[in-house]
Structure 1
Amino acid sequence: MGLLDRFWRGRDTEFDSGSAATNSIELTKRHSEVSLTKQGAATGNLRINLNWRMRSSDIGGPQRESLLRHPFKALKPPEVMGHSQSMVNVDLDLGCLYELEDGTKGVVQPLGGLLGDINDPPYVKLSGDDRFGSASGETIYVNLDHREAIKRILVFVYIYDQTPAFDRTHAIVTLYPSNGPRIEIGLDERHPQARSCAVVMIENVKGELMVRREVKFVYGFQGELDRLYGWGLQWGRGYKSTKADAQGGRG
């Protein structure tokens, strides 16, 4: 490590970045919280991105042999290799539960087309539904210019209508504030039977906007996350279309 590297790393000692990059904060079990307010990042649009790919160790035997014979195939993007016929079909989705200061509660997610709104309540908007682990992933936007109206937001990831396979994916949720370093939460724990994971809580604590790592895997779906965190919504079976049999409502 050069002198310049040591200098820049020294400026980031308040956080456990987990890498040489100085523009990122990795939330871990040991260092699980960061204040957006203290970072001067509690305004503008907060971008929350889910990006994932299949673990390379799960590439099938024939493909692994092919890589040994043709090493340049390893230069293919991870999402190309991660969705070959030898891989299990996995569809990770990003969503969030929200609670506003006026008591309004609900969910933003692809199921049921509950995509939210960025300029009106709940001031949370989901952009797109990535079913293939592409480079862009899935993104939620939170309008922090209305942070006084937001009480808490629980960001979660779930596997929609496929074989549980969190243990076969490498997923990361990254928060991009309008100012300061990005915040990263990795989902690398092995929970092969889990279908959902509460990833991060964004909470207004006495006027200070806090980001707290959760990473709690559950074996059910959003309803189980609701019960775990006491949201109190009504849940039913939903589908990825413009209509749903049932969906989360107000508490």
Structure 2
Amino acid sequence: MGFFDGFFDGIRGSRALQFDTGNASDAIELTKRHPTVSLTKQGAVHGNLRVNLSWRMRTSDIGEGSGHGSRLLRHPFRLFKPEMVQAHTQGMVNVDLDIGCLYELADGTRGVVQPLGNLLGDINNPPYVKLSGDDRFGAPSGETVFVNLDHAEEIKRLLVFVYIYDQTPAFDRTHAMVTLYPITGPRIEIPLEERHPQARSCAVVSLEHAKGELIVRREVKFVYGFQSELDRLYGWGLQWGRGYKTTKA
């Protein structure tokens, strides 16, 4: 059974997959000046919260311009290949951004959902967080984490992060965006536009209960290490080891 077979079998018929993203132009961008929004006030603490990562290369780094479209017409299959960018050592690398989520439940259980180690989570059972897949191509659909907010009271806090898997740091070569799609209300956008050439990971956004509300907070804190450094920064207290992603056919 494939991943999506199991995923949809588990929640087929549930209203949790019926996303209502509202008007496509409706969006809240979290910034340094306005870093938070309440899902409770939006009436969005139910169903599945969809958290999407998408990215593209900065045009100045991959030579896009007037000739880019014509090159795609001549070589249409390049659209499906990972973008190559110039590394700081003047070599060429593929940028492979991944999304993950640290979780802490109300009962004290802590863990992580991420492609490394095939830790994909569960949508109907603890931790009520599920990774939809691993996109290594920077496609518009990106990667998605689902959070089952029908169990919001069982979730103490979440930290969504993005990291570069086993490659030369290249956050400064990409336009990355994490977008939250609540079941109701406008989508919530957190762009990663800051230039941090040596960073390998970034804590992007947190969800936590505060004064009876479920609050989404912009973090956007870049670090030079990986998940263990984010763990120390936010006090998760997990044990970390070397992880690997499943090889795709």
TM interval, shorter chain, is 0.7 to 0.9
Deviations 1:99-129 (A, max 9, x none): 0000000000000000000000000000010
Q: Deviations over 1:123-173 (max 9, x none)?
A: 000001001101210000000000000000000000001110000011000
- Is the CA contact 1:91–1:159 (under 8 Å) kept in the aligned structure 2? yes
Question: Does the 8 Å contact 1:167/1:192 carry over to 2?
Answer: yes
Give the secondary structure class of the aligned counterpart of 1:102: coil
Structure 2 runs not aligned, ≥5 long: 1-23, 87-92
- Residue in structure 1 matched with residue 29 of structure 2 by the alignment: 26
Pick from 53, 56, 60 the counterpart of residue 57 of structure 1. 60
* Paired position in structure 2 for 1:228: 233
1:93-132 mapped onto 2 (5 Å cutoff)? 93-132=98-137
Matched, 1:147 2:152: yes
8 Å contact kept, 1:33–1:210 = yes
Q: Distance in 1 between matches of 2:85 and 2:245?
A: 25
Instruction: Quote the residue 2:90 is aligned against.
Output: none
Structure 1, unpaired ranges of 5+: 1-20, 243-251
2:156 paired with 1:157: no
Root-mean-square deviation (CA), in Å?
2.4
CA distance in 2 between counterparts of 1:179 and 1:70 reads 38
Equivalence for 1:199: 204
TM-score between both structures, scaled by the size of structure 2: 0.81
Deviation at 1:80, TM superposition (A): 2.5
Cα deviation, residue 83, structure 1: 3.8
1:97·1:155 contact (CA, 8 Å) conserved in 2?
A: yes
SS of residue matched to 1:154: strand
Q: CA deviation at 1:241?
A: 2.7
2:90 paired with 1:91: no
Q: Is the CA contact (8 Å cut-off) linking 1:53 and 1:82 kept in structure 2?
A: no
Deviations along 1:58-96, one digit per CA (max 9) or x if unpaired, are 024xxx5xx54576458899x839845565311000001
| Distance change >3 Å, CA 59–CA 30, structure 1 → 2 | same
C-alpha separation in 2, matches of 1:151 and 1:71: 47
Q: Specify which of 179, 198, 212 is matched with residue 174 of structure 1.
A: 179
In structure 2, what residue type is equivalent to 1:58? D
Cα distance in 2, alignment partners of residues 229 and 70 from structure 1 = 42
Q: Identify if the C-alpha distance between structure 1 residues 70 and 192 changes in structure 2 by more than 3 Å, giving closer, same or farther.
A: closer
Stretches of 4+ aligned residues off by more than 2 angstroms = 67-77, 79-88
| Aligned counterparts of 1:159 and 1:170: Cα–Cα separation in 2 | 13
**Residue 102 of structure 2 contacts residue 158 of structure 2 at CA under 8 Å; is this kept in 1?**
yes
Shift of 1:205: 1.5
Equivalent-residue separation in structure 2 for 1:35 and 1:155 (angstroms): 17
> 1: distance between equivalents of 2:69 and 2:143?
30
> Structure 1-normalised TM-score?
0.80
Aligned-partner Cα distance in 2 for 1:32–1:22: 20
**Which has the greater radius of gyration?**
1
What amino acid is aligned across from residue 236 of structure 1 in structure 2? G
Counterpart CA distance in 2 for 1:39 and 1:234 is: 36
| C-alpha contact (below 8 Å) 1:148/1:207 kept by paired residues | no
Deviation digits for residues 202-236 of structure 1, max 9, x if unmatched?
A: 01123310000000000000000000000000001
CA contact (8 A) 2:107 2:154 kept: yes
Matched residue, 2:79: 80
Q: Equivalents in 2 of 1:234, 1:167: separation in Å?
A: 29
